[in-house]
Structure 1
Amino acid sequence: MESVSDGVESIDLQILSLLSQRFGLAAEAGGATAASDDQRKMQLSLIRRRAFELGIPVALVTDFWDRLMDASEAIQAQRSNRAIND
């Protein structure tokens, strides 16, 4: 059972690392990559389809991705506002 727990912990750390990288890219991009409503809907549709194909909870993944995109946009806006004020 310990190896399963270690495996889950390892994956969790990888997820955190990937989120850190994603938010870092969002910060670098500033407001340059904000998605339109249509683009966002298309991205979420692709994510839902992929989650379904992978057999993971579609609603959970969709909610997570929607929040992830909100957070990325907030980081981009924050970076853009700093650039304007500097």
Structure 2
Amino acid sequence: MTKQPKLEHSEFAGEFEDDGVTVLVDIYRPADTNGDWTLEVISQTEVVTSWEETFATDKDAWEEFLATAERDGIKSFLEEDDGQSVH
């Protein structure tokens, strides 16, 4: 049995609601490190959108999420190809 690494979650992580749609924004990195932050968005139907690149700060990740939601619309996170979408 492999041990899952402990994660540190950003203060920016949490539920985000817009246009009647709620998603979970997860911004995290390995605990006790100064590593880069990972950004994922999970819809209510469990469609996971992951970014391939990581971010130097959690604020950079948050701003990327906001820019994507503004540009593509919050409903873009509901689109399901194979259950996971990558940015």
| TM-score, with length taken from structure 1 | 0.30
Higher relative contact order at CA 8 Å, sep ≥6: structure 1 or structure 2? 1
Structure of higher CA gyration radius? 1
Q: Give the structure with the larger strand fraction.
A: 2
Q: Give the structure with the larger helix fraction.
A: 1
